Amino acid sequence: MNAAYPYTVDSQEGDGYLVQFLDFAEAFTEGATLEEAAFNAVEVLSLVIEQRLADGRAIPPPSADEGHPLAYPQASAQAALLMRQAREAQGKTLADMARALQTSWPSAQRLEHAGSNPTLKQLERAAAALGKRLTIGLA
């Protein structure tokens, strides 16, 4: 599963750069430099994904990048997003996950909440319950 979201960067009149995500109308930011704009892109992407997860709203898969720059959400948002996507792809509910992990529904729900900071061991168990394997990479 992929969590790299493409965005556009446009020079603003006067100074700085405007960032807008292709997949989230509410995700936009700016920066004085391209580096600052890219940093802020990660921040706003993470916040939008965290809020959508908290609200139970849909999160679209990333569009094809077609040469656009990419932003990955922060690790906590990315882990929660990937857990939700994997669970939903298998048609499982949070109750199904709780049963598979032999835990409570709130504990299973925390795996899909970016602020809960599950341990690697918890993520590995959840991935295994979904027939997956946890992998870690640097981008």
Q: 16 or 136: which carries more pLDDT confidence?
A: 16
Helix (H, G, I), strand (E, B) or coil at 112: coil
Amino acid at 77: A
Q: Tens digit of pLDDT for each residue in 91-124? A: 999 999 999 999 999 999 999 998 888 999 999 9
Residue 79: predicted pLDDT: 93
Helices 120-129 + 94-101 axis angle, to 10: 110
What class does CATH assign to 5-71? alpha beta
Confirm if 5 and 28 have CB atoms less than 8 A apart. no
Chain segment 20-49, per-residue pLDDT in tens: 999 999 999 999 999 999 999 999 999 999
d(C-alpha 4, C-alpha 83), whole Å? 15
H or E stretch at 7: strand 5-11
Q: What is the pTM of this model?
A: 0.88
Tokens of 66: 């077609």
Retrieve residue 86's tokens.
């994997």
* pLDDT score of 1 more than 70: no
Question: Around Cβ 54, how many Cβ atoms within 10 Å?
Answer: 13
